[in-house]
Amino acid sequence: MNPFKRLLLSSCVFITMNVVAVEGMWLPEQMPSLKKDLQAHGLELAPEQLSSLDKFPMNAIVSLGGCTASFVSPNGLIVTNHHCIYGDLQYNSTPEENLIEKGFLAKSMAEERPAAPGRRVWVTESVTNISQVMKSGLDKLSGRALLDELERRTKSQIAQCEDEFHRCRVFEFYGGAEYYLLRQLELKDLRIVYAPAEAIGKFGGDIDNWMWPRHTGDFAFYRAYIGKDGKPATYNKENVPYKPKGFLPLSKQGIAPGDFVMVAGYPGRTYRHKISTEVAYRFEKYYPRTQKVLADLARIIETIGAQKREAAIKYASRLAGLNNYAKNFQGMMEGYARSHMLENRRKQETQLQQWLNTTPEMKPYRTALEDLKAALAQQHALQETDAWSSWLLGTGMLSTARNLYKWSLNQVKPDDQRELGFQVRDRERWEGYLRSLERRFDIDVESANFRYFLEKLFASENQEIRNIVKIVTGNAKNVDEAVDYFKRIHGDSVLSDPETRLALLDKKPDFFEKSSDPLLSLAVRLYPILKAREDRFKEINGKVKKARARFMEAKLAYFEAQGRPMYDDANSSLRITYGNVQGYPALGQQKPRDGVACDNNGCRYTPFTTATGIVAKDTGKKPFNVPPVERQLIEKRDFGAYEAKFLDDLPVNFLSDVDTTGGNSGSPTMNGKGELVGLLFDGTYDTLNADWEYTDNTRSIHVDVRYMLWVMEKIDHADNLLKELVIH
């Protein structure tokens, strides 16, 4: 039976269980099965309405690729997080005009600025189950053969689905037990409309990132444009605003503690169905190593950026990302140390195995768990061997040169035989990347990164790694000599010129193979080594995929036998989560302050922070530098129509128990009527390992729509946008 049909049939078992109901990132089509629980929590819309992608409010939800956003006007106005627009602000900034610091407001459409090349917005139009087509006849395949056949079928489905204006993706659910085809309209002309100053949009910076209490105005606006003929088109001054099929009105009344909220978006990745060996590997090896690397790379950028303002601007977006993930990984490791996650996962596996062993019809699945563990052991061993050299090969323009050569090798093949990511459909994306490269490149930063990784590898005894090091260092005798070589080949390469980079997309493999350009020649020499590595990974990954699909089929059957629903891990597909506005018990020693209440029983994080709390954090220095005009307004208590009576203050951020993760950034937070009451922008530090294990204290952080509107009206005077928005 279709696993999703099983979920629908079994949903009646859990709808009275509040904790289970709040947990979960649900597909829109599952909403009708959750009807009683949704209505009990406070949904006023018909749940069936949420499963219709062409109806309000789902027809307003869009993907930015890594972030979520939503239409909020009939003229293509889009709202998302400030940190989601950060890279486009950086792209449009110079030392003389730093849009990141001062913010940006277009008083008219003519003043709106193009986003970075390659920036897109995707409007989901349909999601179709293609499991039978994707899975038929795969039982006898494994390893590389399985991956190759799945890729062939994926490309075939995409080719049949796409046209000039639509992009399609095949999504794997439940480890390969189900497959769905997503069709999206691709809008190619996206422009920056408004972003508050960094002192509002990123108030608290990396110190407050993932933390509660929070006081960040993490919001910004784009506008989508199309050609005069009504079809998607790249940037042109003559383009006109896109007219979405639906948009979200804003609720000036906002929400209060205990109120129902729901979030629709494109959550990236969660790992709640990963098995115990994966938990142990990630938290005991991968996260500790990677967290240190991310933190070290951030320090390199900060050190060089302090001396080179141009480099600081070029790497502002990357630095924010490095700090974000470094803190995220640190929080997950600390949460793991406090938890019983590994023990819980092992108990769950023991219970599943006992059921498989005692259920006659499940006999074919009794080795599924052990088979998966065996395949993962091989995969983890390869990852450990190759980690540092993979990072090394990502520095400077080494990866650019390698990808251009790989592109040429694919272009001599028929399009349906090219690798995913290197087909005709991908050319615009590569062009956008190549055009914007110099805006995000500084040789001093990249050389320092190269040195950092090379020092870990220069004396490696692994023959493959030694061969890689010899090629990328020009057989240098020591690290200093190698870094000099790295700088020299970048200075001598044609890749430093944007037009030449673009022209290389049309070159055949023999051009690269005959080239004397140092970076292109290096890419050719590296290719056989990296191709052999890729082949090894594909063989092992194919084994893991086959084993995981069988394990997940067994797990689905186990949940069905217990009458329990099972949502899949996040995979960047459209999901809905819902819950209520509420705080949670505070960890560690706390003092009463905005967002924290204490009594004889301890302290608790309250669900709202206020404008008064902004002033309390003001130090006059980044990242707690409150703009003078904002401080004056708060001290005068000039909150206008946006004051919340239950707070006697202006709400800034709030907490809810909706189930979200990375990729949900910018997701609209809606009330029971589908009105926008805020934007999801973060999680809480002490529950960051919710990606692996949801708990009763898992919370998401949202920016309150009342604070957004107040900033727009009182501080930035975005009167043109306030008139355009529909505000209830």
Q: Give percent helix, percent strand, percent coil of the chain, each to the nearest 5.
A: 50, 15, 35
Structural domain includes residue 348: no
Q: 291 and 150 in one domain?
A: no
Structural domain includes residue 500: yes
Is the pTM higher than 0.85?
yes
Structural domain includes residue 30: no
Q: 395 and 334 in one domain?
A: no
Q: 504 and 460 in one domain?
A: yes
Of the residues 521, 550, 579, the one at which a domain ends: 550
Report which DSSP code applies to 713.
Answer: I
Residue 663 neighbours by CB distance under 10 Å: 24
Q: 396 and 491 in one domain?
A: yes
d(Cα 79, Cα 679) in Å, to the nearest integer?
9
pLDDT at 21: 40
d(Cα 483, Cα 672) in Å, to the nearest integer?
58
Query: Residue 496 sits in which domain range?
Result: 365-550
Q: Alpha carbon of 45 to those of 245, 617, 660: distances in Å?
A: 18, 39, 21
Please list, in sequence order, all residues whose beta carbon lies within 8 angstroms of the beta carbon of residue 86, skipping any fewer than 6 positions away: 100, 202, 316, 317, 320
Structural domain includes residue 164: yes
Of the residues 550, 578, 601, the one at which a domain ends: 550
Q: 375 and 335 in one domain?
A: no
d(Cα 722, Cα 476) in Å, to the nearest integer?
61
Q: Is the dihedral of CA 610, 616, 621, 626 positive or negative?
A: positive
Structural domain includes residue 87: no
Q: What percent of the chain has pLDDT over 70?
A: 97
Contact assessment for residue 32 and residue 9, using Cβ atoms and an 8 Å cutoff:
no
pLDDT at 587: 85
- pLDDT greater at residue 687 or residue 706: 706
Please list, in sequence order, all residues whose beta carbon lies within 8 angstroms of the beta carbon of residue 201, skipping any fewer than 6 positions away: 82, 83, 103, 195, 216, 217, 218, 219, 220
User: Mind listing the pLDDT tens digit for each residue in 271-329?
Assistant: 999 999 999 999 999 999 999 999 999 999 999 999 999 999 999 999 999 999 999 99
User: Mind listing the pLDDT tens digit for each residue in 502-541?
Assistant: 999 999 999 999 999 999 999 999 999 999 999 999 999 9
Structural domain includes residue 461: yes
User: Mind listing the pLDDT tens digit for each residue in 184-210?
Assistant: 999 999 999 999 999 999 999 999 999
Q: 397 and 300 in one domain?
A: no
Q: 702 falls in which pLDDT band (50, 70, 90)?
A: very high
d(Cα 504, Cα 610) in Å, to the nearest integer?
53
Q: What is the DSSP string of 83-152?
A: HHHHHHHHHT--SSS-HHHH-EE-SSGGG-EE--TT--EEEEEEEEE-HHHHHTT-TT--HHHHHHHHHH
Residues taking part in catalysis: 83, 218, 665
E strand or H helix at 279? helix 276-281
d(Cα 616, Cα 598) in Å, to the nearest integer?
18
Strand pairing partners for 596?
593, 605
User: Mind listing the pLDDT tens digit for each residue in 388-409?
Assistant: 999 999 999 999 999 999 999 9
- State how many domains the chain has: 3
The C-alpha torsion from 153 through 157 and 162 to 167, rounded to 10°, is: -80
Structural domain includes residue 147: yes
Q: 463 and 325 in one domain?
A: no
Q: 401 and 307 in one domain?
A: no
Q: Alpha carbon of 341 to those of 332, 338, 348, 687: distances in Å?
A: 11, 9, 11, 12
- Does 414 score more than 80 pLDDT? yes
pLDDT at 439: 87
Of the residues 550, 583, 608, the one at which a domain ends: 550
Q: 325 and 280 in one domain?
A: yes
User: Mind listing the pLDDT tens digit for each residue in 621-671?
Assistant: 999 999 999 999 999 999 999 999 999 999 999 999 999 999 999 999 999
Q: 381 and 320 in one domain?
A: no
The C-alpha torsion from 125 through 130 and 133 to 137, rounded to 10°, is: 150
Contact assessment for residue 112 and residue 242, using Cβ atoms and an 8 Å cutoff:
no
Contact assessment for residue 193 and residue 221, using Cβ atoms and an 8 Å cutoff:
yes
Which residue shows structure tokens 């993490």?
218
pLDDT at 566: 85
Structural domain includes residue 49: no
Q: 516 and 411 in one domain?
A: yes
Q: 429 and 306 in one domain?
A: no
d(Cα 472, Cα 526) in Å, to the nearest integer?
8
- Which of 267, 301, 244, 274 minimizes the C-alpha distance to 75? 244
d(Cα 50, Cα 32) in Å, to the nearest integer?
8
